[in-house]
Amino acid sequence: MKRAIVLLSGGLDSTTCLSVALAKGYEVYPISFDYGQRHKKELDCVRQIVKYYDIKNHKLIHIDNVGGSALTDSNINVPDYEGTSNIPVTYVPARNIIFLSYAVGYAEVVDADAIFIGVNAIDYSGYPDCRPEFIEAFERMIKVGTKRGVEGKPIKIETPLLKLSKAEIIKLAYENKAPLHLTTSCYRGGDKACGVCDSCVLRLKGFKEAGIEDPIEYSIDVEEKFRTL
């Protein structure tokens, strides 16, 4: 059976990505990261998702927190949704470079042909490491910087969500019966999603446009929020 590494954060996108890899018939090797993020609830979600799918090959990597982001530095507040095109303070320096580097190494160890990552270039928060240019550059690096690459068997980075809207991602997740009720998207990491940070608002807008009720709990009145989206 063909094998794939799946970057699994516990969020909506990465869980949908996992469901796509499974639907394509891959034996999956999910990999998650504890990088000092304030929203550690997502790691609890990861454990539940892995249990839901009865996956035995999950790996959790611990990385020192280098700070520099509202997601990793408690002195920087997570802002409410602003809808600007500027790179926000929730950007984590080089996060996907680091995550994909670990994933490439793990792929060589388990002889995986692909790495699935839930990056999205449409409904995203302006992060430079979610763009197609970044993925293309990283694939070129894999070809020249790994044993598989120089031997003509480069590892493919699969980005099934790259050009989908959030509503389309949600519909795909439901088609694949992905457990979105076990996911979280909130940057603030409370017991209930805040409903006002960038990630929460993009998620809520996606569910509204998809015509589907979001199965997770929020600390705000979601129906009231829908009227402002």
Q: What are phi and psi of 91, to 5 degrees?
A: -65, 130
State yes or no: 165 annotated in a binding site. Answer: no
Name the H helices within the chain: 12-23, 41-53, 95-110, 132-145, 147-150, 166-175, 198-210, 222-226
State yes or no: 100 annotated in a binding site. Answer: no
Q: How far is CA 61 from CA 5, 34, 48, 186, in A?
A: 13, 6, 17, 21
Q: What are phi and psi of 55, to 5 degrees?
A: -90, 130
State yes or no: 185 annotated in a binding site. Answer: no
CA distance 157 to 131: 13
Give Rg (Cα) of the chain.
Answer: 17
| Residue at 55: amino acid letter | I
State yes or no: 17 annotated in a binding site. Answer: yes
- Residue whose C-alpha is closest to residue 196's, from 166, 169, 227, 220: 220
- DSSP structure class, residue 184: -
Which helix or strand (DSSP H or E) is residue 28 part of? Answer: strand 27-34
State yes or no: 22 annotated in a binding site. Answer: no
State yes or no: 45 annotated in a binding site. Answer: no
State yes or no: 80 annotated in a binding site. Answer: no
State yes or no: 84 annotated in a binding site. Answer: no
State yes or no: 16 annotated in a binding site. Answer: yes
State yes or no: 8 annotated in a binding site. Answer: yes
CA distance 167 to 151: 40
CA distance 130 to 11: 15
State yes or no: 194 annotated in a binding site. Answer: yes
Binding residue numbers: 8-18, 186, 194, 197, 200
Binding residue numbers for Zn(2+): 186, 194, 197, 200
Binding residue numbers for ATP: 8-18
